[in-house]
Every structure is written in C-alpha cells, then in structure tokens.
Amino acid sequence: MPASTRHHRALAVFVHCLGILAAVPALPAAAPEASAAPRPPAATATSRPPAEATRPPDATPRPRGAATRPGVAATGVPGQTAHPPVAVVARVSAEPTPPSAPPAVAPPSRAPASAPPQQVTVAVAPETSPAPRYRIQVRNVGNAPVDTTVRQELPPGSSPTAISAGGRSTQAGGSTTEVTWRLRLPAHSSTTLGTALATTAPGQPLTAPACAFTSDGTRPYDCATATWNAAAAPAAEIGQAPPWRRYPVLLAGLAVLLLISAALVWVWRRRRAGRVTASALASRGGPDGGRGTIYPRPAAPGTTGRRRTPPVWLVVGAAVAVLAGIVATAGWTATRRVSAIDTQKQPTSGAWTGTGVTGPVGVPLRESAFEFTVYRMSCGAPGTADGGGAAPANGRRCQATVGVRNVTGDHQPWHGQLQRAYLPGGRWVSTDESATRAANLGRDVFADPMAAGSRTVLPLVFTVDGRDPPQQLELRSGVFSAGVRVHMP
C-alpha cells in the first residue's frame, strides 16, 4: 500500500474518532434503554475491521417499510451485517450523568394552607351602663347541631353579679374567674349570652374575652374580645395638674422674678446717683463759705468718693430667683421626659424590626407582621393530660388560646421555637410542638405560612416545671421581630 494511502486512512480513522467523541453528549435519552439490551457476541464485534468499528452510525432515519438488501451492511460495505454501536453504548452507560444546572429563578415558596372553616363564631360587645356589662353572641354557621362550651375570662379584681340562664362562675386558677356555659346550638342558629361585673376599681376600663370550645373544652372554635369603658367624666371633675407642673405658670413666675429684679436694680442705681451728687456739692464749699482771700491757699486734694457696691440682700435675692427659675424649668422638663419613658418596651433599633408592645390578656397587640391576642391560659396538674397529652411527672402542660392575624399583604411563616412562656425567675420555655400538634388534632400549625389577611385561633401548649404558672408570654413572627409580651393575670 502506498504511503499516501496509509496516511489518508489513518487520518480518516482519527477524524471518525473525534466525531464519535463529539456526538456522545448529544445522544438521545433512549441510549440507556439501548444499553440494557444484551450485547452481541465478542466474536462478531472483533470480526469487523477497525475502521468499521469506529465508524459512526447512520444518522438518517430509515422508513419503517424499507427493506435492506441482504449482504449489505448499514455502513455500505458488502458482505457485512449491521450491528449496534457497541463501543458507543458502553461509553454512554459507563459515564455518570452530569448534575443539572441550578434554576435561573428561585423555586416558589410553599403556598399557605387554607384554614379549616369555622363552624361556630363568637362576637362580644360591651353595653353602655354604669357597671361593666357584656353581650356574647354565639352563632352556629354549620349544617349540623353543635355542642359547645363557652368561656368568658373575667379581669382580675372583678366578680360576676349577673349571668344569663345556664351560666356558672368558676375559678380558672389562682385569682382568675371565668364564666362557663354549655350549649347545644341547632344548625344555622345563634344565641345571646350576657354578664354583669362588679369591680374593685370603678371607672377603669375592663377587657373580658370569650371563646367557644368543643364539647370537651380543649379545642377552640372562635374567640372574641371587648373592652368596657366608663362614661366620660364632666370637664369640671377632671383634675388639673399641680401649678408647678404647668408650663404657663412657670413662665409667668419667671417673668415676675425678672421684673422684680429689674425694679430693685433701678432703685439702687437712683439712690447711688443721689449720693454721688450730694458728695460733689459738699466738696465745692471751703471753710470760709466760698469767699476769696488775699493770699491764695494751695489747693487741697478733694476727697474721692468710695465706689458703692449693691447691697448683699439684693445680690442674694437675685441669685436665688434665677436659681429657682432654672431648677423649676429643669425639673419640669425632666419630669415630662421620665414620664414618657416605658421601661417595658423592647429595643426598636439595631437588629429588631418593629416596636415591641406589652399588654394584658384579651387585648390585640400588633408587631411587624402579626397581630396576637391571648384569650386564655390554663394549666393542668403535674403529670395529667391537658389538651396535648400526658405531661411529664415533674412538669405540667399550660395551654394558651391565641388568636393570630396576618396584617401584611403576603403570606408569612412563623415558628414554634420563637413563642415563649416566661416563668418566675426569668426562665422561659418554648412551645411544645408535639403537644401543640396533638392539641390541634394532629395538624402542625407551624408547617405552613399564614395567608395574607387571614386569622386563626389555635391552642399553644407549653410544658413547664414546678407549680408556678407562666407570668408572661412572648409571641413573635420572625427572628428579628420585636414581638409582643402578654402579662398573665
């Protein structure tokens, strides 16, 4: 074989190999299926010439009904039979699949889960009366009768004086009193309940939330709250601030002191001018009554008048007046600033988002994303079951009925570890998520974000040790949110 032919053939083999390597990444997805087919015998693969073994397969598809001439291979060489490209298939099946590129757009966050429809709704309204009175409307919006337990939490220091038919007053724990009704509501019906209270601090606003629970009193259907305010007092009965706390009175007193000081200075200057004039006139007359002499006498030096200083009492009085004005102004300013300081607020600068808010039970408190309302807190005995299952032997479960409203325009996630109950001494515990899931009939309330503008009422369970109940609840929507603090009665 001439040398030129051998060189051309070697170059053709090299070019075909490069073509195979370039075509491997573009093989169709059916290549793994082809690799699963049984491989042809080794003798068939080795009987072909090297040029045919490395030649790429024909990319032109053949018609289904077309027949192949016998003895003619797909490669165009007579006397050869067509075989699948074994080397190519083996290469594809041996190489691992490269990882896919990350998506150009971030995957969408989880959609908020729709809250189950409320079968029972509650509305509370205060009445206009000298004593605190409330109306509670409970409505069954379902198509079946419902057995429900309605509880109204009374403020500390108050006691019921009148309860609508069927209700009774009980001690919820400690000094907290609640009124309980057990009702059976027909389908699409409503009933109105009422309470009247007596308080040890007349005229103070009183907040009394009410909730409708299931028949066993563990899972809330709905809650509502209302605040009773006394009638506005007449203008004559409204006490005014003391005179030393009024800004106009302080300014008027300072002006009077300045006028008195100016008058005293003017009087002192007039007296001093009169004394100087009298001294000058007295120094002009000699011992001879002003008559001349033949022999002039040497001029005697005149007596120089001593410079008068203001009286001590005037200096001391002016200093005392100025000092009193300065002290009064500084005291008034400091009193106003100190009274405006709230030591219970959370920090609002730095990493915190929003303003920290503190309030009692039954009052809606808003932070950066959520509006929290704590309606009720109940604690079971150590080792007993209270909503979230049996408590440990050395601890007990406290269940808080909390209303959560998303006040933003987007769905917001929240986490159970950020909800805390503070115990005496500054210790705190987070939400017992397994017990909270059991109290919510197996639903994880923290798994899905809350939809924009939605509201839900749910129980949060805390496992505490000791006999003292939590003194404060801290609720927040995010890690950097200032959150709200609710004082327990």
pLDDT (tens digit per residue) in 429-455: 999 999 999 999 899 999 989 999 999
One domain, residues 471 and 370: yes
CATH number of the domain residue 167 falls in: 2.60.40.1530
Other CB atoms within 10 A of residue 161 CB: 13
Kindly report, residue by residue over 61-98, the tens digit of the pLDDT.
Answer: 444 443 344 433 334 444 444 444 444 333 434 444 44
For residue 449, give the DSSP letter.
P
Residue 71: inside a domain: no
What's the average model confidence in pLDDT over 265-282?
A: 72
Clarify whether residues 361 and 478 are in a common domain.
yes
Q: Which residue has the tokens 């006490």?
A: 239
215 and 320 in a single domain? The answer is: no
pLDDT of residue 420: 94
Do residues 384 and 396 make contact, with C-beta atoms less than 8 angstroms apart?
Answer: yes
Q: Show the tokens assigned to 372.
A: 């929290």
pLDDT of 395 > 50? The answer is yes
Structural domain boundaries, residue 331: 243-267+311-341
- If asked whether residues 13 and 47 sit together in one domain, one would say yes
Stretch (H or E) spanning 272: helix 247-284
Q: CA–CA distance from 220 to each of 43, 75, 102, 120, 488 (Å)?
A: 79, 79, 45, 9, 19
Per-residue pLDDT tens over the stretch 97-148: 444 444 444 444 555 555 566 789 999 999 988 889 999 999 999 899 999 9
pLDDT of residue 384: 64
Within this chain, do residues 131 and 220 fall inside the same structural domain, yes or no?
A: yes
Inside any domain, residue 85: yes
Please tell me whether residues 328 and 379 are part of one structural domain. no
In a domain, 238, yes or no: no
Same domain, 369 and 324: no
SS3 32: helix
Domain assignment of residue 157, yes or no: yes
pLDDT > 70: what percent of the chain? Answer: 61
349 within a domain of the structure (yes/no): no
- Structural domains counted in the chain: 4
283: in domain: no
Give the pLDDT confidence score for residue 407 in this predicted structure.
92
| Residues 404 and 446 both lie in one domain | yes
To the question of pTM greater than 0.75 for the whole model, the response is no
* pLDDT score for 388: 55
Average the pLDDT over each of 36-45, 289-298, 309-318, 433-442 and give the range with the smallest value. Answer: 36-45
- Does any domain span residue 223? yes
- Are 480 and 373 within one domain? yes
Is residue 405 located within the same domain as residue 451? yes
Distances from the Cα of 124 to the Cα of 16, 224, 286, angstroms: 86, 6, 105
**Three-state secondary structure along 324-379?**
HHHHHHHHHHHHHHHHCCCCCCCCCCCCCECCCEEECCCCCEECCCEEEEEEEEEE
Pairing of strands 370-379, 365-366: antiparallel
Q: What is the pLDDT, as a whole number, of residue 105?
A: 40
- Does residue 150 carry a pLDDT above 90? yes
Task: Specify whether 466 is located in the same domain as 370.
Answer: yes
Q: Which helix (H) or strand (E) holds 137?
A: strand 133-140
> How high does pLDDT run on average in the chain?
73
- The CATH number of whichever domain residue 436 belongs to comes to 2.60.40.1240
Tens-digit pLDDT profile for residues 345-378: 444 444 567 778 999 999 999 998 999 999 999 8
Is 155 in the same domain as 224? yes
